[in-house]
Amino acid sequence: MMKDFIPYISISLNETINSLSFFYPEFALGLGFLLVILSDLFFAKKFPQLPAFVALLSTLFAGVLSFNMLKQSPVQLFGGMIVQDHLSTLFKLIFCFISILFVLFVRYHKDLQSSNKGTGDLFSILMAVQLGLNLMVMSENLLMVYLSLEMVSVGSYLMVGYLSNSPKQSEAAMKYALFGAVCSAFMLYGMSLIYSFSGSLDLFSAQFVSFLSTTPFFSWGPALIMMLIGVAFKLSLVPFHFWAPDVYQGAPTPVTAFLSTAPKIAGFGILIRLLAPFQPLSLSGIDNSMFSLTGVLAVTAIASMIVGNFGAIWQNNVKRMLAYSSIGHTGFMLMGLFIFSVSGFKAIVFYMVIYSIMNMAAFMIVDEVEEKTGKQDIDEYKGLGKSFSLLMIAMVVVLVSLTGLPPTAGFTAKFLIFSAAIEAYNSSGSGLIMTLIIVGALSTVVSLFYYFRIPLNAFLRKSDDPIIAFKNSPKSYISMFLVFLLLFFIIFPSAILGHL
């Protein structure tokens, strides 16, 4: 009878009202979404940069609110659908940082600024995507996992196809949407099977674990793999990486920079939530050793590092090369997740911060070169060290950091991952961990061959074209500031590590 549900309605309403006070950053993004749309509709003709300013202000405000929650004790919100904890707050701060850089990148991107569509719609999509990213890393319920992931995916499809000025851009958007839809269908089907076996959508409920433990692994194991396919697509892990090179090359460069960082980082956040119930006794409090996914994670990480780094060697287009290197970096970060320890988590978060800085700086510099010269291939970078001397020096620092060499923060980031892996190997003696360490070290060496083709052409080879000196744009100065951060954080890594 209806009367039987009245107490539950009252409890649900109280939980919702109590949860609202922990949801302020998301409210700021939702409000920013509406204000960007309104400013674009009514004030864009008179103040064309107002949507960008509103998006920037909303993101900054959300970042401040998130930072104030950094020391907040873990609390479940909205009936356990999402959780506000230290890890999710760290991820949200990274998203705010990337979104701010994205807004500035778009502000000084010639093609987007000259487009008939304007940039107001793009910034409103950004607000919606960032809200989805926040929900992704907070989700503890399978339904919320799927909804937040799809929220980000749909926004990403729109971003990739935003310009569609050429067949290549339209093809990239179509490939991304179609391949994403297929992976999403696999994920949803896997979730439905997991729910049928466990009888619960809550990842951390006792029922979820206990019911699966009484079900044969060959029944729910494939369902779990299908569920992880959607996350693997978002992370561009092998073998779900085929979309990345085409999309990275075809999408507007600011969108490429954004997709290579924020959704990828959110994918790791959601992967941590999905894998946590299947971890050993020391982490979850329940003996789940029979649920171990270490073999799958190790093979995926190794395959991603090998395919990403060796695939990058054969690329001549700079954006395609960075796409394959991004796949390799994802596999390397997965090695830190494989360890699933406190030191591993700290190493991953630090790596994500530095990776965001490196990738955004690299794509800003590549875009600046393309806008000024029209050059997109590595072989065409010959002689650019003279016409773009300061910018090319900055690019060298970024590439050194991407490789993981001193004196850049990329070295510190890789050092922390390797340290956590070696610590885990010393305590467990696992052959899988040692294999991951060896492959990670070899992939770092391999990355030297394709990263340093750019400075080789820029500084050591002469161009047949006349050398023309170019003025640095605001985008160049932003990328140089990011390069400064790469040098700063190797000296003061505690500026990040102190908050982890």
Query: Does residue 457 lie within any of the structural domains?
Result: yes
CA-to-CA distance for 312 and 119, rounded, in angstroms?
Answer: 32
Phi and psi angles of residue 202, each rounded to the nearest 5 degrees, phi first: -80, 115
Beta-bridged to residue 77, according to DSSP, are 82
Give the global pTM. 0.91
Q: How far is CA 24 from CA 58, 62, 68, 93, 231, in A?
A: 12, 8, 11, 14, 27
162 falls within a domain: no
Same domain, 262 and 321: no
Q: Is the dihedral of CA 224, 233, 306, 428 positive or negative?
A: negative
Contacts of residue 312, defined as CB under 8 A and 6 or more positions apart, other chains included, come to: 321, 324, 325, 328, 447, 450
Instruction: State whether 61 and 199 are in the same domain.
Output: no
Distance from the Cα of residue 254 to its chain's centroid = 14
Under 8 Å CB-to-CB from 481, ≥6 apart: which residues? none
* In-domain check, residue 146: no
**Which pLDDT does position 467 carry in this prediction?**
60
pLDDT at 396: 92
Residue at a domain's end among 263, 292, 321: 292
Q: How many domains does the chain have?
A: 3
Query: Identity (one letter) of the amino acid at 88?
Result: S
What pLDDT is recorded for position 17?
A: 77
CA distance 381 to 456: 9
Host domain of residue 93: 1-138
Cα separation of the two ends of the chain: 50
Residue 310's closest CA among 450, 479, 127?
450
**Rg (Cα) of the chain, in Å, rounded?**
23
Same domain, 212 and 178: yes
The three-point CA angle 377-382-383 to 5° equals 140
What torsion, rounded to 10 degrees, do the Cα atoms 23, 26, 31, 32 define?
A: 150
Q: Do 404 and 471 contact (CB within 8 A), yes or no?
A: no
Q: Tell me what pLDDT residue 171 has.
A: 79
Of the candidates 95, 80, 466, 56, the residue with the CA atom closest to the CA atom of residue 269: 95
319 and 276 together in one domain? no
pLDDT tens-digit readout, 384-418? 888 888 888 999 999 999 998 888 899 999 998 88
Residue 47: predicted pLDDT: 82
Residue identified by tokens 């060298």 is: 396
In a domain, 161, yes or no: no
Per-run averaged pLDDT (10 residues), the chain, 500 residues: 61 73 88 92 83 92 90 80 88 94 90 80 92 91 90 90 76 84 88 84 77 74 82 84 83 89 90 75 40 74 91 90 91 81 81 93 91 84 82 91 89 89 81 86 90 87 69 85 92 82
